[in-house]
Chain A
Protein backbone atom coordinates (compact mmCIF):
# COMPACT_ATOMS: atom_id res chain seq x y z
CA UNK A 1 0.00 0.00 0.00
CA UNK A 2 1.37 3.40 -0.97
CA UNK A 3 0.22 6.48 0.90
CA UNK A 4 3.13 8.66 -0.14
CA UNK A 5 2.65 12.00 -1.85
CA UNK A 6 5.10 13.90 -3.99
CA UNK A 7 5.45 17.67 -3.88
CA UNK A 8 8.17 18.57 -6.33
CA UNK A 9 11.27 16.74 -5.17
CA UNK A 10 9.82 16.14 -1.71
CA UNK A 11 8.05 12.94 -0.73
CA UNK A 12 5.59 12.97 2.16
CA UNK A 13 5.07 9.58 3.76
CA UNK A 14 1.35 10.13 3.88
CA UNK A 15 -1.09 12.90 2.91
CA UNK A 16 -2.04 13.96 6.44
CA UNK A 17 -0.32 17.19 7.46
CA UNK A 18 -0.95 19.82 10.11
CA UNK A 19 -1.77 23.35 9.00
CA UNK A 20 0.11 26.53 9.69
CA UNK A 21 -0.99 28.45 12.77
CA UNK A 22 -2.55 25.51 14.58
CA UNK A 23 0.57 23.43 14.97
CA UNK A 24 2.82 25.99 16.64
CA UNK A 25 6.41 24.92 15.94
CA UNK A 26 5.61 21.27 16.43
CA UNK A 27 6.74 21.00 20.02
CA UNK A 28 3.40 21.47 21.79
CA UNK A 29 1.67 19.23 19.27
CA UNK A 30 4.27 16.51 19.75
CA UNK A 31 2.81 15.83 23.21
CA UNK A 32 -0.22 14.46 21.37
CA UNK A 33 1.01 13.35 17.94
CA UNK A 34 4.13 11.55 16.75
CA UNK A 35 5.04 14.25 14.28
CA UNK A 36 7.41 11.95 12.42
CA UNK A 37 4.44 9.79 11.44
CA UNK A 38 2.40 12.46 9.70
CA UNK A 39 3.08 13.86 6.23
CA UNK A 40 4.42 17.24 7.29
CA UNK A 41 4.27 20.02 9.85
CA UNK A 42 3.48 23.48 8.48
CA UNK A 43 4.77 25.89 11.10
CA UNK A 44 3.37 29.28 12.11
CA UNK A 45 3.57 32.15 9.59
CA UNK A 46 7.08 33.57 9.78
CA UNK A 47 8.58 37.05 9.37
CA UNK A 48 12.21 38.21 9.47
CA UNK A 49 11.84 39.92 12.84
CA UNK A 50 9.68 38.58 15.67
CA UNK A 51 6.13 39.84 15.41
CA UNK A 52 3.95 40.47 18.46
CA UNK A 53 0.66 39.95 16.72
CA UNK A 54 -2.63 41.66 17.44
CA UNK A 55 -3.61 43.14 20.80
CA UNK A 56 -6.86 42.29 22.56
CA UNK A 57 -9.20 39.49 21.60
CA UNK A 58 -7.69 36.99 19.20
CA UNK A 59 -10.09 34.15 18.91
CA UNK A 60 -13.78 33.39 19.22
CA UNK A 61 -15.92 30.40 18.50
CA UNK A 62 -18.62 30.69 15.83
CA UNK A 63 -21.22 28.11 14.76
CA UNK A 64 -19.06 25.04 13.96
CA UNK A 65 -16.08 27.30 13.40
CA UNK A 66 -13.57 29.75 14.77
CA UNK A 67 -12.74 33.35 13.94
CA UNK A 68 -9.12 34.26 14.59
CA UNK A 69 -7.19 37.47 14.53
CA UNK A 70 -3.81 36.36 15.83
CA UNK A 71 -1.97 38.84 13.63
CA UNK A 72 0.80 36.42 12.70
CA UNK A 73 2.57 36.49 16.05
CA UNK A 74 5.81 34.59 15.53
CA UNK A 75 9.33 34.27 16.86
CA UNK A 76 11.05 35.65 13.78
CA UNK A 77 13.50 33.93 11.45
CA UNK A 78 16.57 33.78 13.72
CA UNK A 79 14.83 32.25 16.69
CA UNK A 80 12.94 29.90 14.39
CA UNK A 81 16.17 28.54 12.97
CA UNK A 82 18.10 28.49 16.24
CA UNK A 83 15.46 27.41 18.73
CA UNK A 84 12.48 25.87 16.92
CA UNK A 85 13.86 24.05 13.90
CA UNK A 86 16.24 21.78 15.85
CA UNK A 87 13.32 20.21 17.70
CA UNK A 88 11.45 19.51 14.46
CA UNK A 89 14.54 18.01 12.88
CA UNK A 90 15.31 15.89 15.92
CA UNK A 91 11.73 14.63 15.96
CA UNK A 92 12.00 13.50 12.38
CA UNK A 93 9.22 15.79 11.12
CA UNK A 94 8.99 16.96 7.55
CA UNK A 95 9.15 20.69 8.19
CA UNK A 96 7.50 23.28 6.00
CA UNK A 97 7.68 26.85 7.29
CA UNK A 98 4.92 29.23 6.28
CA UNK A 99 6.38 32.49 4.95
CA UNK A 100 4.14 35.40 5.87
CA UNK A 101 5.81 38.78 5.50
CA UNK A 102 4.27 42.15 4.74
CA UNK A 103 6.41 43.10 1.74
CA UNK A 104 7.68 41.40 -1.41
CA UNK A 105 11.30 42.02 -0.36
CA UNK A 106 10.87 40.44 3.05
CA UNK A 107 9.06 37.43 1.62
CA UNK A 108 11.86 36.93 -0.87
CA UNK A 109 14.53 37.23 1.77
CA UNK A 110 12.77 34.62 3.90
CA UNK A 111 12.36 32.21 0.98
CA UNK A 112 15.96 32.65 0.02
CA UNK A 113 17.38 32.01 3.49
CA UNK A 114 14.98 29.24 4.45
CA UNK A 115 15.42 27.27 1.27
CA UNK A 116 19.16 27.09 1.97
CA UNK A 117 18.68 26.09 5.60
CA UNK A 118 19.29 22.41 6.32
CA UNK A 119 16.23 20.79 7.86
CA UNK A 120 13.71 22.77 5.80
CA UNK A 121 11.90 20.42 3.42
CA UNK A 122 9.76 22.91 1.53
CA UNK A 123 8.37 26.43 1.86
CA UNK A 124 4.76 27.46 1.96
CA UNK A 125 4.29 31.05 0.83
CA UNK A 126 1.24 32.58 2.46
CA UNK A 127 -0.16 35.18 0.07
CA UNK A 128 -3.06 36.12 2.33
CA UNK A 129 -0.89 38.54 4.28
CA UNK A 130 -1.48 42.23 3.89
CA UNK A 131 0.94 43.98 1.57
CA UNK A 132 1.89 47.12 3.44
CA UNK A 133 2.92 48.93 0.24
CA UNK A 134 -0.53 48.39 -1.23
CA UNK A 135 -2.43 49.78 1.74
CA UNK A 136 -2.68 46.40 3.40
CA UNK A 137 -4.41 44.57 0.56
CA UNK A 138 -3.49 40.90 0.53
CA UNK A 139 -0.88 39.85 -2.08
CA UNK A 140 -3.09 36.99 -3.12
CA UNK A 141 -6.09 39.07 -4.14
CA UNK A 142 -4.54 41.05 -7.00
CA UNK A 143 -3.21 39.08 -9.96
CA UNK A 144 -0.38 41.53 -10.78
CA UNK A 145 0.89 41.74 -7.22
CA UNK A 146 0.50 37.99 -6.83
CA UNK A 147 2.44 37.30 -10.03
CA UNK A 148 5.30 39.58 -9.04
CA UNK A 149 5.60 37.96 -5.62
CA UNK A 150 5.39 34.38 -6.82
CA UNK A 151 7.85 34.96 -9.68
CA UNK A 152 10.44 36.43 -7.37
CA UNK A 153 9.84 33.79 -4.72
CA UNK A 154 10.27 31.01 -7.28
CA UNK A 155 13.53 32.50 -8.43
CA UNK A 156 15.14 32.47 -5.00
CA UNK A 157 13.59 29.27 -3.63
CA UNK A 158 15.72 26.22 -4.26
CA UNK A 159 13.49 23.80 -2.33
CA UNK A 160 9.90 22.86 -3.20
CA UNK A 161 7.62 25.90 -3.12
CA UNK A 162 3.96 25.70 -2.16
CA UNK A 163 1.75 28.72 -2.69
CA UNK A 164 -0.99 29.04 -0.10
CA UNK A 165 -3.81 30.75 -1.91
CA UNK A 166 -6.25 33.26 -0.53
CA UNK A 167 -9.88 32.17 -0.87
CA UNK A 168 -11.04 35.77 -0.67
CA UNK A 169 -11.10 36.22 -4.47
CA UNK A 170 -13.68 35.58 -7.15
CA UNK A 171 -11.73 33.03 -9.17
CA UNK A 172 -9.15 31.25 -7.05
CA UNK A 173 -8.37 28.69 -9.76
CA UNK A 174 -6.87 31.40 -11.97
CA UNK A 175 -4.40 32.20 -9.19
CA UNK A 176 -3.56 28.51 -8.89
CA UNK A 177 -2.98 28.33 -12.62
CA UNK A 178 -0.70 31.36 -12.51
CA UNK A 179 1.30 29.77 -9.68
CA UNK A 180 1.67 26.63 -11.78
CA UNK A 181 2.78 28.62 -14.83
CA UNK A 182 5.44 30.36 -12.74
CA UNK A 183 6.74 27.03 -11.55
CA UNK A 184 5.34 26.52 -8.07
CA UNK A 185 5.52 22.89 -6.98
CA UNK A 186 2.09 22.87 -5.36
CA UNK A 187 -0.72 25.08 -4.12
CA UNK A 188 -2.47 24.89 -0.77
CA UNK A 189 -6.04 25.99 -0.09
CA UNK A 190 -7.89 27.27 1.67
CA UNK A 191 -6.60 29.87 4.01
CA UNK A 192 -9.23 31.40 6.30
CA UNK A 193 -12.24 33.20 4.87
CA UNK A 194 -12.67 36.83 5.91
CA UNK A 195 -15.32 37.16 8.56
CA UNK A 196 -16.33 39.47 11.36
CA UNK A 197 -17.89 39.50 14.81
CA UNK A 198 -19.65 42.48 16.32
CA UNK A 199 -20.25 42.64 20.04
CA UNK A 200 -23.83 43.86 20.37
CA UNK A 201 -23.32 45.04 23.96
CA UNK A 202 -20.45 47.39 23.19
CA UNK A 203 -21.69 47.88 19.60
CA UNK A 204 -18.15 47.47 18.37
CA UNK A 205 -16.16 44.93 16.39
CA UNK A 206 -14.99 42.11 18.67
CA UNK A 207 -11.46 42.20 17.22
CA UNK A 208 -9.11 45.19 17.25
CA UNK A 209 -8.33 44.44 13.61
CA UNK A 210 -12.11 44.43 12.96
CA UNK A 211 -12.09 41.58 10.42
CA UNK A 212 -10.85 38.08 11.21
CA UNK A 213 -10.29 34.71 9.55
CA UNK A 214 -12.96 32.02 9.63
CA UNK A 215 -11.99 28.35 9.75
CA UNK A 216 -13.27 25.01 10.94
CA UNK A 217 -16.12 22.73 9.84
CA UNK A 218 -18.21 25.78 8.93
CA UNK A 219 -15.96 26.51 5.92
CA UNK A 220 -15.57 22.94 4.71
CA UNK A 221 -18.09 22.97 1.83
CA UNK A 222 -16.49 26.17 0.50
CA UNK A 223 -13.05 24.59 0.74
CA UNK A 224 -14.15 21.40 -1.04
CA UNK A 225 -15.63 23.47 -3.85
CA UNK A 226 -12.41 25.47 -4.16
CA UNK A 227 -10.18 22.38 -4.25
CA UNK A 228 -12.50 20.89 -6.88
CA UNK A 229 -12.24 24.02 -9.02
CA UNK A 230 -8.46 24.25 -8.69
CA UNK A 231 -8.08 20.60 -9.69
CA UNK A 232 -9.91 21.34 -12.93
CA UNK A 233 -7.29 23.94 -13.87
CA UNK A 234 -3.91 22.68 -12.65
CA UNK A 235 -1.75 19.56 -12.68
CA UNK A 236 0.48 20.39 -9.71
CA UNK A 237 -0.48 18.83 -6.36
CA UNK A 238 -3.05 20.53 -4.17
CA UNK A 239 -2.78 20.55 -0.38
CA UNK A 240 -6.43 20.78 0.59
CA UNK A 241 -7.73 22.08 3.89
CA UNK A 242 -10.65 23.81 5.53
CA UNK A 243 -12.64 22.20 8.32
CA UNK A 244 -11.20 18.71 8.07
CA UNK A 245 -11.95 16.85 11.32
CA UNK A 246 -12.37 13.17 10.46
CA UNK A 247 -11.52 10.52 7.89
CA UNK A 248 -14.68 11.16 5.85
CA UNK A 249 -13.58 14.78 5.44
CA UNK A 250 -10.11 13.67 4.34
CA UNK A 251 -11.58 11.41 1.69
CA UNK A 252 -13.89 14.15 0.45
CA UNK A 253 -10.91 16.46 -0.17
CA UNK A 254 -8.94 13.71 -1.90
CA UNK A 255 -11.90 12.93 -4.14
CA UNK A 256 -12.19 16.65 -4.92
CA UNK A 257 -8.57 16.45 -6.12
CA UNK A 258 -6.30 17.08 -3.16
CA UNK A 259 -2.97 15.22 -3.08
CA UNK A 260 -2.45 15.98 0.59
CA UNK A 261 -4.60 17.54 3.28
CA UNK A 262 -3.95 19.77 6.27
CA UNK A 263 -5.62 19.69 9.64
CA UNK A 264 -6.05 23.12 11.15
CA UNK A 265 -8.82 24.03 13.57
CA UNK A 266 -9.52 20.36 14.33
CA UNK A 267 -6.12 20.12 16.07
CA UNK A 268 -7.26 22.86 18.42
CA UNK A 269 -10.19 20.71 19.49
CA UNK A 270 -8.54 17.30 19.29
CA UNK A 271 -4.76 17.80 19.28
CA UNK A 272 -4.15 14.10 18.55
CA UNK A 273 -6.44 13.96 15.53
CA UNK A 274 -3.84 14.20 12.75
CA UNK A 275 -1.95 11.15 14.00
CA UNK A 276 -5.17 9.16 14.21
CA UNK A 277 -6.22 10.15 10.70
CA UNK A 278 -2.99 8.84 9.21
CA UNK A 279 -3.82 5.42 10.65
CA UNK A 280 -7.48 5.58 9.67
CA UNK A 281 -6.58 6.38 6.08
CA UNK A 282 -4.57 3.17 5.86
CA UNK A 283 -7.47 1.24 7.37
CA UNK A 284 -9.80 2.70 4.78
CA UNK A 285 -7.45 1.78 1.93
CA UNK A 286 -7.18 -1.78 3.20
CA UNK A 287 -10.92 -2.11 3.57
CA UNK A 288 -11.60 -0.72 0.10
CA UNK A 289 -8.76 -2.65 -1.48
CA UNK A 290 -7.01 0.51 -2.64
CA UNK A 291 -3.26 0.28 -3.13
CA UNK A 292 -2.60 3.90 -4.07
CA UNK A 293 -4.49 7.08 -3.38
CA UNK A 294 -4.26 7.87 -7.10
CA UNK A 295 -7.21 5.50 -7.46
CA UNK A 296 -9.51 7.89 -5.65
CA UNK A 297 -7.79 11.24 -6.13
CA UNK A 298 -10.07 13.52 -8.09
CA UNK A 299 -12.67 10.72 -8.30
CA UNK A 300 -15.47 13.28 -8.13
CA UNK A 301 -14.36 14.65 -11.49
CA UNK A 302 -14.80 11.35 -13.29
CA UNK A 303 -18.55 11.44 -13.61
Chain B
Protein backbone atom coordinates (compact mmCIF):
# COMPACT_ATOMS: atom_id res chain seq x y z
CA UNK B 1 0.00 0.00 0.00
CA UNK B 2 1.12 3.53 -0.76
CA UNK B 3 1.43 6.22 1.88
CA UNK B 4 1.13 9.93 1.33
CA UNK B 5 3.88 11.19 3.61
CA UNK B 6 2.73 14.77 4.08
CA UNK B 7 0.07 17.22 2.96
CA UNK B 8 0.62 18.09 -0.72
CA UNK B 9 2.87 21.16 -0.89
CA UNK B 10 2.09 24.17 -3.03
CA UNK B 11 5.08 24.44 -5.38
CA UNK B 12 3.75 26.97 -7.92
CA UNK B 13 0.45 28.61 -8.69
CA UNK B 14 -2.15 25.79 -8.92
CA UNK B 15 0.60 23.15 -8.66
CA UNK B 16 1.08 20.81 -5.70
CA UNK B 17 3.76 18.24 -4.94
CA UNK B 18 2.81 14.89 -3.41
CA UNK B 19 5.46 12.82 -1.68
CA UNK B 20 4.53 9.16 -1.57
CA UNK B 21 6.12 6.08 -0.11
CA UNK B 22 5.43 2.84 -1.95
CA UNK B 23 6.82 -0.65 -2.33
CA UNK B 24 8.06 -0.71 -5.79
CA UNK B 25 10.59 -2.55 -7.81
CA UNK B 26 12.33 -0.11 -10.08
CA UNK B 27 10.82 2.91 -11.68
CA UNK B 28 11.70 4.09 -15.16
CA UNK B 29 11.44 7.76 -16.08
CA UNK B 30 8.17 8.43 -17.92
CA UNK B 31 6.15 5.89 -15.98
CA UNK B 32 3.04 7.08 -14.19
CA UNK B 33 0.89 6.45 -11.14
CA UNK B 34 -2.90 6.12 -11.14
CA UNK B 35 -4.54 7.43 -7.98
CA UNK B 36 -8.08 7.03 -6.67
CA UNK B 37 -9.33 10.31 -5.30
CA UNK B 38 -11.85 8.68 -2.92
CA UNK B 39 -13.23 5.28 -2.00
CA UNK B 40 -16.76 6.21 -3.10
CA UNK B 41 -18.04 6.40 -6.67
CA UNK B 42 -17.69 10.08 -7.52
CA UNK B 43 -15.27 11.01 -8.99
CA UNK B 44 -15.17 7.42 -10.17
CA UNK B 45 -12.03 6.96 -12.24
CA UNK B 46 -8.44 7.06 -11.07
CA UNK B 47 -6.35 10.07 -12.05
CA UNK B 48 -3.01 9.48 -13.82
CA UNK B 49 0.14 11.49 -12.96
CA UNK B 50 3.69 11.23 -14.15
CA UNK B 51 6.40 10.33 -11.72
CA UNK B 52 8.35 13.54 -11.12
CA UNK B 53 11.14 11.95 -9.16
CA UNK B 54 11.94 8.60 -7.59
CA UNK B 55 14.40 7.89 -4.83
CA UNK B 56 14.31 4.38 -3.44
CA UNK B 57 10.77 3.78 -2.23
CA UNK B 58 9.87 7.49 -2.21
CA UNK B 59 8.32 9.08 -5.25
CA UNK B 60 7.06 12.56 -5.94
CA UNK B 61 4.36 13.72 -8.32
CA UNK B 62 3.33 17.24 -9.31
CA UNK B 63 -0.36 17.91 -9.57
CA UNK B 64 -1.84 20.80 -11.46
CA UNK B 65 -5.31 21.56 -10.14
CA UNK B 66 -7.75 21.70 -13.05
CA UNK B 67 -10.89 19.93 -11.89
CA UNK B 68 -12.65 17.94 -9.23
CA UNK B 69 -10.20 15.09 -8.89
CA UNK B 70 -7.08 17.22 -8.66
CA UNK B 71 -8.92 19.55 -6.25
CA UNK B 72 -9.47 16.59 -3.91
CA UNK B 73 -5.93 15.26 -4.30
CA UNK B 74 -4.21 18.54 -3.48
CA UNK B 75 -5.99 18.57 -0.12
CA UNK B 76 -5.42 14.96 0.78
CA UNK B 77 -4.39 14.20 4.35
CA UNK B 78 -1.24 12.16 4.90
CA UNK B 79 -1.85 8.43 5.23
CA UNK B 80 -2.74 5.49 3.05
CA UNK B 81 -3.69 6.23 -0.54
CA UNK B 82 -5.07 3.94 -3.22
CA UNK B 83 -2.55 4.10 -6.04
CA UNK B 84 -1.52 1.74 -8.83
CA UNK B 85 2.12 2.19 -9.78
CA UNK B 86 4.35 2.15 -11.62
CA UNK B 87 2.38 1.94 -14.88
CA UNK B 88 3.28 2.53 -18.53
CA UNK B 89 6.45 2.02 -20.48
CA UNK B 90 8.83 4.95 -19.86
CA UNK B 91 11.54 6.76 -21.84
CA UNK B 92 14.63 5.15 -23.32
CA UNK B 93 17.65 5.89 -21.18
CA UNK B 94 21.05 5.21 -22.70
CA UNK B 95 24.18 7.11 -23.54
CA UNK B 96 23.29 8.95 -26.73
CA UNK B 97 25.63 11.93 -26.36
CA UNK B 98 23.79 15.22 -26.84
CA UNK B 99 20.16 15.12 -25.71
CA UNK B 100 17.48 17.79 -25.56
CA UNK B 101 14.48 17.84 -23.24
CA UNK B 102 11.56 20.18 -23.89
CA UNK B 103 8.83 20.47 -21.25
CA UNK B 104 5.70 22.59 -21.33
CA UNK B 105 3.75 23.45 -18.17
CA UNK B 106 2.94 20.46 -16.02
CA UNK B 107 4.45 18.40 -18.85
CA UNK B 108 7.82 19.22 -17.32
CA UNK B 109 6.94 16.81 -14.51
CA UNK B 110 8.09 13.51 -16.10
CA UNK B 111 11.28 15.11 -17.38
CA UNK B 112 13.16 15.76 -14.11
CA UNK B 113 13.70 12.11 -13.27
CA UNK B 114 14.49 11.50 -16.93
CA UNK B 115 17.08 14.30 -16.93
CA UNK B 116 18.75 12.82 -13.86
CA UNK B 117 18.87 9.33 -15.34
CA UNK B 118 20.13 10.59 -18.70
CA UNK B 119 22.86 12.50 -16.91
CA UNK B 120 23.81 9.38 -14.95
CA UNK B 121 23.99 7.46 -18.22
CA UNK B 122 26.63 9.94 -19.43
CA UNK B 123 24.65 12.25 -21.69
CA UNK B 124 25.06 15.99 -22.08
CA UNK B 125 21.59 17.29 -21.24
CA UNK B 126 20.07 20.54 -22.53
CA UNK B 127 16.70 21.47 -21.04
CA UNK B 128 14.09 23.94 -22.28
CA UNK B 129 11.51 24.62 -19.58
CA UNK B 130 8.44 26.35 -20.91
CA UNK B 131 5.79 27.88 -18.70
CA UNK B 132 2.90 30.32 -18.94
CA UNK B 133 4.59 32.67 -16.50
CA UNK B 134 6.93 33.02 -13.54
CA UNK B 135 4.30 31.99 -10.96
CA UNK B 136 3.70 28.65 -12.65
CA UNK B 137 7.28 27.43 -12.59
CA UNK B 138 7.93 24.53 -10.23
CA UNK B 139 11.16 22.78 -9.31
CA UNK B 140 13.42 25.31 -11.10
CA UNK B 141 16.44 24.65 -8.88
CA UNK B 142 16.12 20.90 -9.15
CA UNK B 143 15.98 21.04 -12.93
CA UNK B 144 18.82 23.52 -13.14
CA UNK B 145 21.14 21.40 -11.05
CA UNK B 146 20.24 18.18 -12.86
CA UNK B 147 21.24 19.28 -16.34
CA UNK B 148 24.11 20.88 -18.25
CA UNK B 149 22.22 23.66 -20.00
CA UNK B 150 18.94 25.05 -18.64
CA UNK B 151 16.74 27.57 -20.45
CA UNK B 152 13.43 28.97 -19.29
CA UNK B 153 10.84 30.46 -21.59
CA UNK B 154 7.56 32.01 -20.53
CA UNK B 155 4.60 33.05 -22.66
CA UNK B 156 4.54 36.49 -21.04
CA UNK B 157 8.28 36.97 -20.55
CA UNK B 158 7.95 37.13 -16.75
CA UNK B 159 10.87 34.72 -16.42
CA UNK B 160 13.64 33.68 -18.81
CA UNK B 161 13.09 34.24 -22.49
CA UNK B 162 9.78 35.45 -23.79
CA UNK B 163 8.04 33.20 -26.28
CA UNK B 164 7.25 29.63 -27.03
CA UNK B 165 9.49 26.74 -26.15
CA UNK B 166 9.50 25.68 -29.76
CA UNK B 167 10.96 29.00 -30.96
CA UNK B 168 13.79 28.60 -28.51
CA UNK B 169 14.10 24.94 -29.42
CA UNK B 170 14.49 25.92 -33.07
CA UNK B 171 17.56 28.03 -32.19
CA UNK B 172 19.09 25.45 -29.92
CA UNK B 173 18.56 22.68 -32.44
CA UNK B 174 20.24 24.71 -35.19
CA UNK B 175 23.33 25.07 -32.94
CA UNK B 176 23.70 21.60 -31.51
CA UNK B 177 23.24 18.26 -33.17
CA UNK B 178 21.09 16.27 -30.75
CA UNK B 179 20.87 12.55 -31.14
CA UNK B 180 17.78 12.33 -28.97
CA UNK B 181 14.97 14.67 -28.10
CA UNK B 182 12.42 14.08 -25.36
CA UNK B 183 9.29 16.15 -24.86
CA UNK B 184 6.14 16.38 -22.79
CA UNK B 185 3.58 19.17 -22.78
CA UNK B 186 0.62 20.45 -24.76
CA UNK B 187 0.10 18.54 -28.02
CA UNK B 188 0.88 21.49 -30.35
CA UNK B 189 4.20 22.01 -28.54
CA UNK B 190 5.12 18.34 -28.85
CA UNK B 191 4.07 18.23 -32.48
CA UNK B 192 6.26 21.23 -33.32
CA UNK B 193 9.17 19.83 -31.38
CA UNK B 194 8.96 16.63 -33.40
CA UNK B 195 8.95 18.63 -36.64
CA UNK B 196 11.97 20.65 -35.54
CA UNK B 197 14.01 17.65 -34.47
CA UNK B 198 17.34 17.10 -36.16
CA UNK B 199 17.05 14.56 -38.95
CA UNK B 200 17.93 11.16 -37.61
CA UNK B 201 17.35 12.16 -33.97
CA UNK B 202 15.00 9.87 -32.07
CA UNK B 203 12.11 11.82 -30.59
CA UNK B 204 10.22 10.44 -27.64
CA UNK B 205 7.08 12.18 -26.47
CA UNK B 206 4.96 11.47 -23.42
CA UNK B 207 1.27 11.85 -24.24
CA UNK B 208 -1.25 12.82 -21.57
CA UNK B 209 -4.62 12.22 -23.15
CA UNK B 210 -7.74 11.24 -21.21
CA UNK B 211 -7.46 7.78 -19.64
CA UNK B 212 -10.21 5.39 -18.60
CA UNK B 213 -8.51 2.53 -16.78
CA UNK B 214 -4.79 3.23 -17.19
CA UNK B 215 -4.05 -0.50 -17.31
CA UNK B 216 -4.91 -1.45 -20.89
CA UNK B 217 -8.35 -3.01 -20.49
CA UNK B 218 -10.77 -0.42 -21.88
CA UNK B 219 -9.10 0.85 -25.10
CA UNK B 220 -10.27 4.33 -24.18
CA UNK B 221 -6.89 6.04 -24.53
CA UNK B 222 -5.97 5.31 -28.13
CA UNK B 223 -3.54 7.44 -30.06
CA UNK B 224 -3.34 7.14 -33.82
CA UNK B 225 0.11 6.33 -35.16
CA UNK B 226 1.61 5.25 -38.44
CA UNK B 227 1.60 1.72 -36.94
CA UNK B 228 -2.14 2.01 -36.21
CA UNK B 229 -3.90 2.74 -32.95
CA UNK B 230 -1.94 2.25 -29.75
CA UNK B 231 -3.11 2.44 -26.16
CA UNK B 232 -1.36 5.36 -24.48
CA UNK B 233 -1.58 3.75 -21.04
CA UNK B 234 0.25 0.51 -21.81
CA UNK B 235 1.96 1.03 -25.16
CA UNK B 236 2.88 4.52 -23.89
CA UNK B 237 2.61 7.06 -22.41
CA UNK B 238 6.02 7.43 -24.04
CA UNK B 239 5.67 7.04 -27.80
CA UNK B 240 7.85 7.59 -30.85
CA UNK B 241 6.95 11.18 -31.68
CA UNK B 242 7.60 10.70 -35.36
CA UNK B 243 4.91 8.04 -35.61
CA UNK B 244 2.08 10.00 -34.01
CA UNK B 245 -0.61 11.29 -36.36
CA UNK B 246 -1.15 14.57 -34.55
CA UNK B 247 -4.25 15.70 -36.37
CA UNK B 248 -6.07 12.66 -35.01
CA UNK B 249 -5.21 13.33 -31.36
CA UNK B 250 -8.37 13.40 -29.23
CA UNK B 251 -9.26 16.81 -27.71
Q: Interface residues, chain A, CB within 8 Å of chain B?
A: 21-24, 28-29, 31-32, 44, 52-53, 55-61, 63-66, 68, 70, 73, 199, 202, 216-218, 245, 265, 267-271
Bound-state Cα–Cα, A118 to B117, Å: 48
Query: Once the chains bind, are B210 and A267 in contact (CB under 8 Å)?
Result: no
B16-24, B73-81, B176-184, B211-219 - the one binding chain A: B211-219
Query: Once the chains bind, are A61 and B217 in contact (CB under 8 Å)?
Result: no
Specify which chain A residues have a CB less than 8 angstroms from the CB of B44 in the assembled complex.
61, 64-66, 216-217, 265, 269
**Across the A-B interface, how many residue pairs have beta carbons closer than 8 Å?**
89
B137 CB, min distance to chain A CBs, angstroms? 27
Specify which chain A residues have a CB less than 8 angstroms from the CB of B234 in the assembled complex.
28
Q: Identify 12 new A-B residue pairs, CB closer than 8 A, beyond the known A29-B217, A57-B250, A73-B222.
A: A29-B215, A52-B229, A57-B251, A61-B45, A66-B212, A73-B219, A202-B251, A245-B41, A265-B44, A267-B217, A268-B217, A269-B44
Query: Once the chains bind, are A52 and B228 in contact (CB under 8 Å)?
Result: yes
Query: Once the chains bind, are A269 and B217 in contact (CB under 8 Å)?
Result: no
Query: Once the chains bind, are A70 and B42 in contact (CB under 8 Å)?
Result: no
B71 CB, min distance to chain A CBs, angstroms? 14
A78 CB, min distance to chain B CBs, angstroms? 16
A53 CB, min distance to chain B CBs, angstroms? 7
- Does chain A have a CB within 8 A of B43? yes
B181 CB, min distance to chain A CBs, angstroms? 27
Known: A70-B219, A269-B36, A271-B213. A56 touches B41 (CB 8 A): no
Known: A52-B229, A59-B218, A268-B217. A68 touches B251 (CB 8 A): no
- Does chain A have a CB within 8 A of B248? yes
Specify which chain B residues have a CB less than 8 angstroms from the CB of A269 in the assembled complex.
36, 44-46, 213
B129 CB, min distance to chain A CBs, angstroms? 29
Bound-state Cα–Cα, A65 to B248, Å: 26
B68 CB, min distance to chain A CBs, angstroms? 9
Residue of B nearest to A264 (CB): B218
Query: Once the chains bind, are B251 and A56 in contact (CB under 8 Å)?
Result: yes
Known: A58-B220, A59-B220, A269-B46. A22 touches B229 (CB 8 A): no
Query: Once the chains bind, are A32 and B45 in contact (CB under 8 Å)?
Result: no
Query: Once the chains bind, are B229 and A68 in contact (CB under 8 Å)?
Result: no
Residue of A nearest to B82 (CB): A270
A266 CB, min distance to chain B CBs, angstroms? 9
Q: B217: which of A28, A53, A57, A63 is its contact (CB, 8 Å)?
A: A28
Find residues 212-251 in chain B having any chain A CB closer than 8 Å to their own CB. 212-213, 215-222, 224, 228-229, 234, 248, 250-251
30 contacts between A and B (CB under 8 A): A21-B218, A22-B217, A22-B218, A23-B217, A24-B219, A28-B217, A52-B229, A53-B222, A53-B229, A55-B224, A56-B250, A57-B250, A59-B210, A59-B211, A59-B212, A59-B218, A59-B220, A61-B45, A64-B41, A66-B44, A66-B45, A68-B220, A70-B218, A216-B41, A217-B41, A267-B213, A268-B217, A269-B44, A269-B46, A269-B213
A302 CB, min distance to chain B CBs, angstroms? 30
